[in-house]
Amino acid sequence: MSESTIDAATRRLALALDALDAALDRRREADRNEERLASQVHALGADRSRLASDLDAQAARAKRLETANREIARRLDVAIGSIRDVIDANEP
């Protein structure tokens, strides 16, 4: 083999190693991006679960307030009726 053939083969090998190194760098970056995305998906899932739980709690609270509101309205109606009865009974 001549020296120029060896030099050419050495250059091709160096280029191939550089290409392999660049491919490894791209793969590592892709892996890091995938890990970041997986972490974000996990965080979004946790947020969704927390928000669903908060929504359930607020819906239950709204139901309790609605029930209390109805009871208050019923008691006010009874009180207003009683006051009207007293006023009607004391009118000449």
43-82: per-residue pLDDT in tens? Answer: 999 999 999 999 999 999 999 999 999 999 999 999 999 9
Other CB atoms within a 10 A radius of the CB of residue 15 amount to 10
Nearest-angstrom CA–CA distance, 1 and 11: 15
Over 90: is that where the pLDDT of 30 sits? yes
Over 90: is that where the pLDDT of 3 sits? no
pLDDT at 1: 62
pLDDT at 50: 96
Nearest-angstrom CA–CA distance, 75 and 1: 108
Over 70: is that where the pLDDT of 92 sits? yes
Nearest-angstrom CA–CA distance, 12 and 6: 10
- Asked whether the CA dihedral 62, 63, 68, 73 is positive or negative, the reply is positive
